[in-house]
Amino acid sequence: MSLLEIGLVLVVLLFLFLGIGVYVGLALLLVGLAGLALFTTAPPGPNVATALWTSTSGWSLAALPLFVWMGEILYRSRLAQSLFQGLGPLLARLPGGLLHVNVVASALFAAVIGSSAATTATVGRFTLPELLRRGYPKPLALGSLAGAGTLGFLIPPSVIMIVYGVMAEVSVARLFMAGVVPGVLLALLLMLTVALLAFFQRRRLPQEQTPSFGEVLRGSLAVFPVLLLIFLVLGSIYLGVATPTEAAAIGVAGALALTLLRGEFSGELFRESLLGAVRTTSMIGLILAGAGVLTLAMGFTGIPRALATWASEAGVTPLLFIFFLSLIYIVLGWFLDGISIVVLTISVILPVVKAIGLDPLWFGIYLVIMVELAQITPPVGFNLFVIQSLTGEDLFRIARHALPFMGVLLLMVALLVAFPGLATWLPRTMTGG
């Protein structure tokens, strides 16, 4: 069989397994196993075991459970509520009023929480009931949250960046630096969009009163603990005193200390938050482990190498490649979640990325934005699921409310392609390489 035929067989097999509902990680494992057994002379059993072990036991992956744990602790504390009350007076005068709290609170929490769904849940739990109670239109309240929640992956720390960094052997610390400028820019674009949408519907928006100086002061104080945590975690990475894994451990300790100070700590909070972290880590780990097997099998068949050679010989330009890849990711995003998409495609895509001269660091940030898009495209999108469970609203209706914000994400991809420096400037400046 030619490589093309082998590749087609494996792709068909993968979609078959995924389609009938095999767990994503196990489907990847089975396809990898089929590839090893049918198309190579390598003994499949020992290779599967080795791949499972090496894809999950690297030390940089230890950051994953720790960052998830930190997010779980913050989700269970009432910090988000304080933040909402604090940000309200600071943002009330902007066009769109308290709707901006969705964006700013998401951006702040994204800097201490590693995933989009967790950010959406942590922020939305307090902002959505409050916004709807105050009479803000539902489409704007839900849509802006769905859009803003996606900042969770782009603004470091980020689960996707850890997973990508581990798989692609790109420094997680550098990825964390690369996400900052695009993350802040995306937050500003989201606020601009909220302001524009609010301007067109200004008659239907509640009028916020001008806050007093005392309220503004109290608001600033409420934001302070979150800023402190951000400084502790990201600051220690950027200043070079801690690796991402160490920063994550410091973050967990800091978040626990914060709940102690606020009188919210309990044995139950400790256990439940850790259990949440174990479940999320296991969920991601199963996919990573399965992908490890598939990646190994792919390496044996030689498909990624052949694809990379073909791409560079056929003169595929980076622009053309990114355009078609984006189309593929958008389609995959309809029925797969973001993490699965990254892990599923990376072993085949990455050699091509390197062969046509794209920077793997830049590509990581591009990938994160595509994953974010997948988070809000129905029928499978974790941000949508979270908002659905918070409000009971129909999934497709939430997605329609989020449509303008999908546009913002696409704009962000275009900006990143046009100005690669958005992602690569900061890590270059900070690490000099």
Partner 1 sequence: MRALGWALEALYRLAQALALLLGVFILLVILAQVVGRFLGFVVPSALELAGFATAGLIFLGLAPTLRAGGHIRVVLVQQKLPPRARGWLEGLSLLLSVVAAFYAAFHAWGKAWESLRFGDLAPGLLPLPLWMPLALLALGLSVFALALLEAFLRALVRGKA
Q: Which residues of the chain form contacts with partner 1 (CB under 8 A)?
A: 17-27, 29-30, 33, 45-46, 48-50, 52-53, 56-62, 64-66, 69, 242, 245-246, 248-250, 252-253, 271, 274-275, 277-283, 285-289, 335-337, 339-340, 379-380
Q: Tokens for 433, please give them.
A: 């390489």
- Residue 157 has φ and ψ, to the nearest 5°, of -65, 155
For the CB of residue 163, give the shortest distance to partner 1 in the complex, in Å: 12
Residues 6+ positions from 111 with CB-CB distance below 8 Å: 155, 156, 157, 230, 233, 234
For the CB of residue 404, give the shortest distance to partner 1 in the complex, in Å: 26
For the CB of residue 33, give the shortest distance to partner 1 in the complex, in Å: 7
Which residue number, 115 or 193, has a Cβ lying nearer to partner 1?
A: 115
Which residue number, 80 or 277, has a Cβ lying nearer to partner 1?
A: 277
Which residue number, 274 or 417, has a Cβ lying nearer to partner 1?
A: 274
For the CB of residue 251, give the shortest distance to partner 1 in the complex, in Å: 10
- Could you count the other beta carbons within 10 Å of the beta carbon of residue 374? 29
Q: Are 162 and 244 a contacting pair, CB within 8 Å? A: yes
Which residue number, 161 or 198, has a Cβ lying nearer to partner 1?
A: 161
Which residue number, 337 or 372, has a Cβ lying nearer to partner 1?
A: 337
Nearest Cα residue to 381 out of 345, 337, 340: 337
Burial class (CB in 10 A: 0-12, 13-18, 19+), 209: exposed
For the CB of residue 290, give the shortest distance to partner 1 in the complex, in Å: 8
For the CB of residue 260, give the shortest distance to partner 1 in the complex, in Å: 15
For residue 114, the 8-state DSSP code is -
Nearest Cα residue to 100 out of 179, 223, 180, 189: 189
Q: How far is CA 40 from CA 1, 37, 301, 341, 350, in A?
A: 11, 6, 7, 26, 22
- Alpha-carbon distance 83 to 222, whole Å? 6
Residues 6+ positions from 283 with CB-CB distance below 8 Å: none
- Alpha-carbon distance 55 to 61, whole Å? 9
User: Which residue is associated with the tokens 């779980």?
Assistant: 72
Q: Supply the angle between the helices 63-76 and 267-301 in degrees, to the nearest 10.
A: 140
For the CB of residue 403, give the shortest distance to partner 1 in the complex, in Å: 21
Helices (H), 302-337: 303-313, 318-335
Which residue number, 112 or 252, has a Cβ lying nearer to partner 1?
A: 252
Which residue number, 82 or 383, has a Cβ lying nearer to partner 1?
A: 383
- Alpha-carbon distance 373 to 365, whole Å? 13
Which residue number, 103 or 287, has a Cβ lying nearer to partner 1?
A: 287
For the CB of residue 70, give the shortest distance to partner 1 in the complex, in Å: 10
Which residue number, 182 or 338, has a Cβ lying nearer to partner 1?
A: 338
For the CB of residue 282, give the shortest distance to partner 1 in the complex, in Å: 3
Backbone conformation region of residue 398, classed left if phi is above 0, alpha if psi is from -120 to 50, else beta: alpha
For the CB of residue 274, give the shortest distance to partner 1 in the complex, in Å: 5
Which residue number, 10 or 250, has a Cβ lying nearer to partner 1?
A: 250
